[in-house]
Amino acid sequence: MIIKSVTIRNFRSYKGEHTVNLDVDGTRPVILVYGKNGAGKTGFINSILWCFYGSLFFGSTRTFAVRQVNKDVKKGKSFDMAVTVVFEHEGKKWVVKRNLEYVGSGSKENTMSYKGDQGGPIVSVDGDFQEDGYVAIESVLPMNAAHFHFFDGEQMRRYTREKNTEEVRKAIELVLNLPTLINSKMDLDKTLHEIEDERSKIAAKNDRYTDLLAQREEIEQGLEEVRGKVEHHTIELNKVSEGLSIIEARLAQYDELKDKIDDLRVLRTELSSLSEHLKSAKNDFGTAIDRIPHVVLHEHVKKAVHSFKKKRREIEEGLRIAYSEKAKYDAMVEMLEQGKACSCCGAQPGDEQREYLASEIERLGAAVKNQTEGKRVSSELLMLEERGSEALNDATSASTEITVLQAQIAELNNKIRAARQESEETEKDLRGVNEELYAADRKNREDLGIIKRKESDALDDLVLQRNELENSKDEIEFELDKHSVDDKEIREISKEKTRAADSLEAVSKLIDAYVHEMKAQVEEGSSEILRLLTHKRETFDRVCVDGTFAIDIVDKQGEMISRSDLSAGEQQVLALSFMGGLARASGSRSPFLMDTPFGRLDKEHKQNILRMLPELSTQVVLFVTNDDLDQYEESILNRRISKIYEVIYDEKKRSSHIVLRT
């Protein structure tokens, strides 16, 4: 990077527009700029810093830009401030501009509104405007590194202060173009972290999975145990229940038997009643025994009566016929015995008629003769019939009565038999009741009842526990499904992590090696420059940059010389040595703009520095007071100076300006 020109407009003491040509050639890299105190040297450097970064000197905060506006200009209602830096970098022309315009009105700074500045520098490279000016500038000369190149001499010593080691480290990294590697490292680190996060998530998921598996196993163990207990208690409960059932059955039998006592009483009463009835029935039978023959001969009597009736009717029919025949008989007798004529025809009966009459008389005579017998028999039959009918009535009623009685007695006997049997059985059963056993059973029932309740309660608790465990297991199974991790996924992510870690390690090693190398180079370069700059060449051996990037001097004995033991000037020399060493190690050819770096230095140191300055970079702009360099000292630089300028503050114009001396 070589600054070609700087155009300042209304910046600090520079009112109006001022352009300074800072171009150098290869053999004359130095531009000397003289100026009295307050002429505007620092302002010039600050203008470049402001243009590039919007901030000022190393260590200052980003001040509100408006404060940099020339005071006279700021008094106006409208004004602008701008700085344009033109430089060449890697063969390309860069134009960097930053401006600030005041628009609006207001008497106080904080009510003013501006445009520009906040957006960053406007950068064009070979005419191509860069989208992001900050990024563009950072790619050429990072802000942190800029302070190694654009600095106040008084500020140099800060590199040696412990509290600034972190800043120094960062600056070194930037100067040595470590950002790319560092960014790669950071990217890798970020990637690694992301992978680690991913892996952690997966691991967490896996851990969670493993936890869940462990929990499930625990639950399964617990479940098995509880199930075993449930089974055991179930068996015990069944045993108790069985025992209880047996006792209950026995007690039920006892109670049933005891109830039977009442039944027995009733039965005995019934038996007694039945016996009475039986006695009564037997008595009745007894009274009926008179009529046993009637019962036995019932059918015979019935048959006899019927027979008598029939016979009598026959006889009476015969008698009726006989009676009707009597008249005829008497008539025939009269005819035959008295020789009378027939009443019908009046004829006298002949022999034939006499024979007929005689036979008829004989027949009818038998009938008439039998009539008396018939009446007698009929009468007898009637008597038999009547007596038979009475006997039949008796027999019928007796038969009925005895049949009823027999049935009654049979029934009563059956009932009595059944009642007696039942009574005997009941009494037998009752004799089997052992009161002691009964009492023992009752006690056992009570005890078993208590045991059963306890077992039942225990079982209920265990079943509840089992159900809860089963529910927990189900929940865990559900969670397991959610958290199941594919082994392949784990392997892949692990591989990825390993690769990233390896890459990171490689890059870290590379960076470490590079830093180490660079540090060594810085040390070597710094040491070389120190030897050029210091007059204690016999004492100071080399510069040492430790791990914390603290810069120290090591003496010839290898002892570290404490910085507090160095004078301010020596510290300044040390710092400059370091900056030179850094510049060499980086290979960066960014310009150095130094503002009065010789403040505390003695002549020897100053001269040594002057000799070394041209080697520092391809462009060194040295701002010195008019008294900083004498002729000799200027002559040291003569052959290496491209231009000499002077910054002059014109009190009349109330503005600084830079004029070319040579």
Partner 1 sequence: MSSILGSRDRFAVSRKAKKTYDLIVTKHKNLKSHGQLFAYAASWGIAAGARSKLKSKVDLAIMSGLKTKEYDYESLLGVVISCLHPDASPDERLQILQEYAEYGISKIREHFDRYRRLSFQQLVDEMTAKKGTRE
Part of the chain binding partner 1 (CB under 8 A), chosen from 210-218, 391-399, 414-422, 614-622 = 391-399
Candidate residues 171, 172, 391, 621; the one interacting with partner 1 per rule CB under 8 A: 391
Residue 243 tokens, joined: 């025992």
Token pair in block for residue 384: 């038999």
Give the residue with the Cβ less far from partner 1, 357 or 384: 384
DSSP state of 37: T
Q: Which amino acid is at 462?
A: L
Q: Which of 20, 32, 274, 305 binds partner 1 (CB under 8 A)?
A: 305
> Do 14 and 655 meet the contact criterion of CB atoms below 8 Å apart?
yes
Name the residue nearer to partner 1 (CB basis): 114 or 308: 308
Q: How far is the CB of 261 from partner 1 (least distance, A)?
A: 35
Give the span between the Cα atoms of 31 and 25, in whole angstroms: 10
Beta pairing, strands 592-595 & 150-152: parallel
How many residues make contact with partner 1 (CB under 8 A)? 31
Is residue 404 involved in binding partner 1 (CB under 8 A)? no
Least distance from C-beta 422 to partner 1, angstroms? 24
Return the number of the residue (290 or 502) whose C-beta is nearest partner 1. 290
Q: Could you write out the three-class secondary structure of 136-189?
A: HHHHHCCHHHHHHHEEEHHHHHHHHCHHHHHHHHHHHHHHCCHHHHHHHHHHHH
Q: Is 301 in the site for partner 1 (CB under 8 A)?
A: yes
For the segment 358-387, give every residue that binds partner 1 (CB under 8 A): 380, 383-384, 387
Token pair belonging to 528: 């070389």
482 near partner 1 (CB under 8 A): no
d(CA 15, CA 24): 26
For the record, the structure tokens of 96 come out as 């960097």
Mark 411-440 with x for binding to partner 1 (rule: CB under 8 A) and - for no binding. ------------------------------
Q: Are 629 and 607 in contact (CB under 8 A)?
A: no
Q: How far apart are alpha carbons 48 and 70 in whole angstroms? A: 16
Query: Residues 6 or more apart from 55 whose CB is under 8 A from it?
Result: 49, 61, 62, 63, 143
The residues in 125-164 that bind partner 1, with binding defined as CB under 8 A, are none
Residues 65-124 within binding reach of partner 1 (CB under 8 A): none
Query: According to CB under 8 A, which one of 388, 525, 580, 581 is a site residue for partner 1?
Result: 388
Interaction mask 308-347, partner 1, x per CB under 8 A = x--x------------------------------------
Q: Which is nearer to partner 1, 271 or 305 (CB)?
A: 305
CB contact burial 287-326 (16+ within 10 A = b; e otherwise): ebeebeebbebbeebbebbeebbebbeebbebbeebeebe
| Span from 60-68, 236-244, 285-293, 544-552 in contact with partner 1 (CB under 8 A) | 285-293
Residue 390 engages partner 1 in binding (rule: CB under 8 A): yes
Q: Please tell me whether residue 181 binds partner 1 under the rule CB under 8 A.
A: no
**Interaction between residue 644 and partner 1 (CB under 8 A):** no
The span from the CA of 554 to the CA of 545, in Å, is 10
- Residue 291 or 415 having the CB closest to partner 1: 291
Considering the complex, state which of residue 198 and residue 394 has its C-beta at the smaller distance from partner 1.
394
Told to check if 307 binds partner 1 by CB under 8 A, we report yes
275 token code pair: 């016996």
Which residues are near partner 1 by CB under 8 A? 285-286, 289-297, 300-301, 303-305, 307-308, 311, 380, 383-384, 387-388, 390-391, 394-395, 402, 406, 409
